[in-house]
Amino acid sequence: MSLIINNISKKYSNGVKALDELSLDSVSGMFGLLGPNGAGKSSLMRTIATLQLPDSGEIFFNDINVLNEPMELRKILGYLPQDFGVYQGESAERLLDYFSILKGITSKKERSILVDQVLELTNLYEARKKSVSSYSGGMKRRFGIAQLLLNDPKLIIVDEPTAGLDPAERTRFLNVIRAIGSVNTVILSTHIVADVNELCHDMAIINKGQVVNHLKPQDGILQLKGNIWGAKINPERLPEFERSLEVLSSSYTPDNFIFIRVYENEKSKLDSIEANWESLVPELGDVYFHSLKDSKEYV
């Protein structure tokens, strides 16, 4: 199963060009879509999910022409937007039974078995009698996964799924995504690099509506081997380093210095700038920031 996106463009009525001839080939398995806020991730997800039409371009999932046959895709689509609402006061069990009816499952016995299965998979069975509106943020996210699994989807889209979750809730949610990702095409749209690093075997980085890099996470990390350097500097020197070098990230240390991560493939250039440089093992975050800066579109 694979998703192919050809030259998708979308410009909104306010003049914002959200997607700019964006193309992606052979999206399959657990696929991560990384990009800063406003990069076009949600616009792309809504377009793939047939919630909006692009101005131009084509999308295919297996033998389905998505833009021409939206109802065919919806039959096998599971979609979890960044924000979604639930009926107040209704339990997870009752809501999932209701959603099963909407998805065409008429047998009460079949619905009961299916609802129990998705509640077990999302670790919500013990809380099945509780009102979904009373759930924590992480539990609501897992309920969102439960409802999208009711129609046995082949393509699953989750948009910023761990935003706002505490570490324990994030871990539980990612475990659920990992469990369903082995048998489906799952697109994980996020600006959190760690989510992609933990889950995805393939990824794309987008900015300003365009793909700036499409690669496997481990390949991207290997490409930067030997070119990532770090140094602890006084905070007032940070602008100097940013003018002279490609500073990928910076963070304060416990002693109120700043530790910078830098991409540089010529060690002699580093030697000309006074600092105690050390060679670092590349991380996926380095791949992400280097791709954005290298695209010359990052602001």
pLDDT, residue 89, reads: 86
Q: Which residues are within 8 A (CB) of 299 and not within 5 positions of it... i.e. 6 or more apart?
A: none
pLDDT, residue 56, reads: 97
Residue 297 scores a pLDDT above 60: no
State the Cα–Cα distance between residues 105 and 94, nearest whole angstrom.
Answer: 14
Paired tokens of 285: 């975050």
pLDDT, residue 28, reads: 79
Are 163 and 174 in contact, with CB atoms under 8 Å apart?
A: no
Give me the mean pLDDT over the 194-200 stretch: 91
Residue 299 scores a pLDDT above 50: no
What CATH topology corresponds to 3-213? Answer: Rossmann fold (3.40.50)
CA atoms within 13 A on the CB side of 239: 1
Give me the mean pLDDT over the 272-290 stretch: 94
Give me the mean pLDDT over the 176-198 stretch: 87
Given pLDDT bands bounded at 50, 70 and 90, which one contains residue 160? confident
Give me the mean pLDDT over the 145-156 stretch: 90
Residue 161 scores a pLDDT above 90: no
CATH of domain 226-281: 3.30.70.2030
pLDDT, residue 298, reads: 46
When comparing pLDDT for 249 and 160, which is higher? 249
Strands 246-252, 258-263: pairing is: antiparallel
Residue 201 scores a pLDDT above 80: yes
Lowest-pLDDT range of 164-168, 201-205, 274-278: 164-168
Quote the distance between the C-alpha of residue 15 and its chain's center.
Answer: 25
When comparing pLDDT for 261 and 86, which is higher? 261
pTM to 2 decimal places = 0.86
Are 248 and 275 in contact, with CB atoms under 8 Å apart?
A: no
Residue 82 scores a pLDDT above 90: no
Given pLDDT bands bounded at 50, 70 and 90, which one contains residue 152? confident
Residue 276 scores a pLDDT above 50: yes
Domain boundaries, the chain: 3-213, 226-281
Are 39 and 208 in contact, with CB atoms under 8 Å apart?
A: yes
Residue 20 scores a pLDDT above 60: yes
State the Cα–Cα distance between residues 282 and 284, nearest whole angstrom.
Answer: 7
